[in-house]
Amino acid sequence: MAKLYKSHNSNTDKRTALLVGIFLCALACAAFLFFKLWMAAAVSAVAGVAAFFAFYNRIKVLQSGLDGENKTAKMLVKRLPRGCAVCQNFTVKCGPTAELDAIAITPQGVSVIEVKNQAGEITGRADAQYWRHTRSGKRGSVIEKQMPNALVQSSRQVQVIKNVLIKAGINAPLKGCVYFSNSYISVNISGANVFTNEGALLAFIQKGRAVLSPQDIKQIAAEIKTHTIK
């Protein structure tokens, strides 16, 4: 079992702020009704309903992301051997700033993992700016939309961790990947480090020969924590 280093997730704060927004809309409507300000109450109610649906959808997206990140971190901690480290939800600044869903530090090196939790089908090219996300909607409808290429996001995250290692004078193998944690996902991105099952992700993380000692792993985790924005 690996050791978990967990930082505060900024998406939790965003979700809380949205919930507060919904509450304030309801509170304003109730106050207008109490003081018999009917027109203001009606306007507030309409605005409140619109805000509720907008906030609710955003909250669902944030919660889905949090669920995927937590599920992935728990799996990595459970399935990676003793002596490894897993860093979860770190916002690291070293040159650029990057929000890092998960980092696995093993004897084979450092793996930066961008976690996605969409359901449906993802198609596209590894070098494209956007991918296509298709999923089922209500009453048998099909919803299609673009999503940013997660590999581009992953490459930025890898660069930030590379900066951390260089600054600390640490020479360690470093790589990045994208992991879709939702069981109801199909991904067709050819020639890329994109994974949809635990076994393939773990094989990617532990590929190569062991070059880092337990002390090296602890040092790398400590350096990442040093550059974390709280």
Domain membership of residue 98 (yes or no) is yes
Q: What is the mean pLDDT of the chain?
A: 85
Domain membership of residue 92 (yes or no) is yes
pLDDT (tens digit, 9 = 90+) per residue, 56-96?
Answer: 565 556 677 689 999 999 999 999 999 999 999 999 999 99
In the three-class reduction of DSSP (H, G, I as helix; E, B as strand; rest coil), residue 187 is classed as strand
Domain membership of residue 55 (yes or no) is no
Domain membership of residue 186 (yes or no) is yes
Domain membership of residue 103 (yes or no) is yes
Give the range of the structural domain holding residue 170, as residue numbers without chain letter. Answer: 3-8+69-226
Q: How many domains does the chain have?
A: 1
What pLDDT is stored for residue 64 in this prediction? 74
Handedness of CA 88, 104, 106, 159 (dihedral sign): negative
| pTM score | 0.80
Domain membership of residue 62 (yes or no) is no
What pLDDT is stored for residue 137 in this prediction? 83
What pLDDT is stored for residue 27 in this prediction? 59
Domain membership of residue 99 (yes or no) is yes
C-alpha dihedral over 199, 204, 206, 212, to 10 degrees?
-150
CA distance 202 to 171: 22
More confident residue, 208 or 37: 208
Residue 41 has pLDDT above 50, yes or no: no
Domain membership of residue 21 (yes or no) is no
Q: Where are the alpha helices (DSSP H) in the chain?
A: 10-34, 38-79, 150-168, 198-205, 214-226
What pLDDT is stored for residue 58 in this prediction? 57
In the three-class reduction of DSSP (H, G, I as helix; E, B as strand; rest coil), residue 124 is classed as strand
